[in-house]
Amino acid sequence: MSPALGELDADALDELLADDLDAGLELLGLMARATDRDLAALARRLAGRLVLELARSGPAKGRGIGKLVPGRFEAGLDLDLDRSIDALLQYRVDGVADPDRLRARRWQRPDTSICLLVDRSGSMDGVRLATAALAAAACLWRAPAACSVVAFSSTAVSVVDADRPRPAAEVVSDVLRLVGRGTTDVALALRAAHHQHARTLARRRITVLLSDAEVTAGVDPVPWARRCDELIVLAPADEPEHASALARASGAGLALLDGPASIPGAFRSTIG
């Protein structure tokens, strides 16, 4: 697949992706961690473009942490001088202003905030890296300016914050660089999601937990899971026990993954 240093056989990769998408994504995930830096960078770019394209199978949702929209003036709102000029001129001439003609500006909340929690405890092989990258791309597509990604084990590290959007390609590339380490503190991750959602004014707040949800550190995550407005657990199909138990105990949604390529379908069935 790599005929020389820093090179990739594009035809061979295309054939592999056409024959077995999961295998192709897994290989790109592995190559993204190659010791050959040029090859690793090339693999991350190719993987990034591919997962962003695959992620665009659901509707784009959110639009930032908020925007100013016009409306009827009420006490406490900012008067929109441009839209209220006629009413203000009437007041200057007649001494009476029609309150229905006064307009204001108010903040309107975005539609959706999504926080993706990526379990990086243990080892991050090609399958896990590709799955995480595709999940991040799917979240960014649905909430491009109100999306956060947090990688967790026994600690939690933000890849992108909900109120500091970054280009999707950069976020996906950083996810492909994740190194596995530590134990699994699911409660810590869910707390981090609450902090991320608190940075936004979104109406719908979705937390996506990408993990087998086997707790090996920290406290019981169920109380924190129940505090989520909307929790979706994405777990490997061959390790469903702990994720299923967490979903039952907390009322969360659950989707089992057969491989990276099942991410788009899982998002469509759980989020829309």
Share of the chain above pLDDT 90, in %: 51
Domain segments of the chain as ranges: 49-62+111-270, 67-108
For residues 173 and 31, give the distance between their C-alpha atoms in angstroms, rounded to a whole number.
12
Of residues 93 and 120, the one with the higher pLDDT is: 120
CB atoms within 10 A of CB 174: 17
In whole angstroms, give the CA distance from residue 228 to residue 237: 23
Residue reference for tokens 């040029």: 38
pLDDT value at residue 196: 97
Mean per-residue pLDDT, 212-240: 97
- Mean per-residue pLDDT for 127-147? 92
Q: Dump pLDDT digits (tens) for 55-114.
A: 876 655 544 444 544 555 555 555 566 666 666 566 555 555 565 666 665 544 558 899
% the chain with pLDDT above 70: 76
Looking at residue 108, its pLDDT comes to: 47
Q: What is the pLDDT of residues 200-218, one digit of tens each?
A: 988 899 999 999 999 999 9
DSSP code at position 101:
G
Q: Are strands 112-119 and 156-160 parallel, antiparallel or unpaired?
A: unpaired
pLDDT of the residue at 232: 98
Q: Please list the alpha-helical segments (H only) found in 9-125.
A: 10-19, 21-31, 37-55, 81-94
Q: How does DSSP classify residue 227?
A: T
Q: How confident is the model at residue 251 (pLDDT cuts 50, 70, 90)?
A: very high
CATH number, domain 49-62+111-270: 3.40.50.410
Model pLDDT, residue 178: 94
pLDDT at 266: 94
Specify the pLDDT at position 69: 47
